Structure 1
Amino acid sequence: MTPELTALALAALLQIVQIGLVGWSTARDVGGSEWAGSPRDTPPPKPLSHTTGRLMRATSNHFEGLAFFTIAVLVTTLSGQSTAFTAACAWAYLGARVLYVPAYVASIGSTRSLVWTVGFVATLAMILAALF
């Protein structure tokens, strides 16, 4: 397995952890898993906390970034253009995504934006490296 594919697999596991955190935080906010496990046709019985909202937004943001990162990894791997540079980009993406969650939850705006940018630029660099 290429380093890029390993980073992609770990990024998928990170996304699973984030989904679990959202579920846990939601259940905590509403007083149990009954509403959290429902089809959510009605508003929550209690307001969701800022932390839960931030966890939800961080998870949604990672879904968006993960789509582009997956494309970058597939283009790099399937074209046989895995290099030390693209591997470093993949690990930079993963590291940025790991740091993004606590930066978002703690509401550290400038740090959150910086780590998001690192992940985005790393993804873009992988795609460009495969093209050129």
Structure 2
Amino acid sequence: MTAELVALVIAAFIQFLHIGVSGYFMNRTPEGQAWNMSPRDTPRDPGIKGGRAQRAGDNHQTALLLFAVAILTLAVSGQFNGWTAFLAWLYVIARLLYIPAYVQGWSPLRSIIWMLGSAATALLLLAALF
């Protein structure tokens, strides 16, 4: 398997990590596990870090879709090279760093990390076109 496809699989596992981090913070609130195991018919306050974890996960889900389009287009068209491998791993590293950056409120570092991951994805999409 190519480095880019491995990066895509790891990026998918990062989504599971986001779900776990969100669940961890949800379970630490007063409603905690009872609400988390309920049908969730009523909204609740996830707390500051829980809300951040949930928003970071939502953000990753969107970013993962764009990254997957780039990687799969490059795979189908046979355009992988050293540059695309570098960009794929830059995306993965940025998305891993994004979790603590968002949850801990590292500003403006969180935005810089987001920009790195997004730039890597945009460059991968451009590589697929040219």
Q: Do Structure 1 and Structure 2 share a fold, with TM-score over 0.5?
A: yes
Q: Which residue matches 2:27?
A: 27
Which amino acid in structure 2 is aligned with residue 72 of structure 1?
A
- Superposed counterparts of 1:12-91, under 5 Å: 12-44=12-44, 47-91=45-89
TM-score in terms of structure 1 length: 0.94
Helix, strand or coil at the partner of 1:81:
coil
Contact 1:4 1:86 in 2 (8 A): yes
> Per-residue CA shift, 1:34-80, capped at 9, x if unaligned?
21121210133xx4220000000000000010000000000111110
Partner Cα distance (2:99, 2:108) in 1: 13
- Superposed counterparts of 1:87-102, under 5 Å: 87-102=85-100
Helix, strand or coil at the partner of 2:29:
helix
- Superposed counterparts of 1:101-112, under 5 Å: 101-112=99-110
Partner Cα distance (1:48, 1:93) in 2: 28
How far off its partner does 1:3 sit? 0.8
- In structure 2, runs of 5+ residues without a counterpart are none
Identity of aligned residues (%): 45
Which amino acid in structure 2 is aligned with residue 102 of structure 1?
P
- In structure 1, runs of 5+ residues without a counterpart are none
TM-score in terms of structure 2 length: 0.95
Helix, strand or coil at the partner of 1:38:
coil
CA RMSD of aligned residues (A): 1.1
Equivalenced residue count is 130
